[in-house]
Amino acid sequence: MALKKTIETFISKNYYNLIVNFEHINYVSSAGWGVLIGKIRKIREHKGDIILVGMDKSVFSIYELMELNQIFKYKTSVQEALSSLGKQMLKIKETAIAKKTNEEKPILPQKQIIEQQKKVQEKLERLKEEIRFIISETPLIGINALISELSKEQHGGWKINRWQLKRLLKTMGLGTITKRLYYAFRKARGEI
């Protein structure tokens, strides 16, 4: 909620080049990403942009996994972002995303961004299905072996690193060997 109001305040004051600093943020909810995606249309209508900086590993891995680099630029520092905008450090207001934002429906972005979001979601679902399939076939598979299987053409040729896979498995409720074994057992019995 605070992020949305902050961005709206900048837009109302005709500031259209925004830098969002994630320096002290270790998680961004889907609502938080939704706010940014929802506001990018209006900002780009005025030839502006949102540049993201300072993401830690967990936030950056979700940024990459969801292919948000096709929507937002990422720079490692505020200074680098300012240089890319051609601005100096004067009168810069940095924005940080709160760890938890209230669920809110983002303003509908332009058709292209909506389509991109759907593609990202579909891609993520395909990856999850491949993971579930491999786990149901070989429930005692380790992380490295699972990465190797996912990278094979027959499983989609996915490129995912160990950290991203562990995080995704955790969100799927398959973060431990025990949970993966239980999933495969239930799948074999037809419970899933």
Number of domains the chain contains: 2
- Among residues 98, 130, 163, the one where a domain terminates is 98
The band of 98, judged by pLDDT with boundaries at 50, 70 and 90, is very low
How do residues 50-75 score in pLDDT, each as one tens digit?
A: 889 988 888 888 888 888 888 888 98
Angle 75-104-61 from CA coordinates, rounded to 5°: 30
Q: Could you tell me if 45 and 122 lie in one domain?
A: no
- Output the domain CATH number for residue 30: 3.30.750.24
Q: Which domain holds residue 170?
A: 115-188
Determine, yes or no, domain membership for 153.
yes
Q: Could you tell me if 92 and 138 lie in one domain?
A: no
Q: Are 179 and 173 in contact (CB under 8 A)?
A: yes
Say how far residue 46 (Cα) sits from the centre of its chain: 25
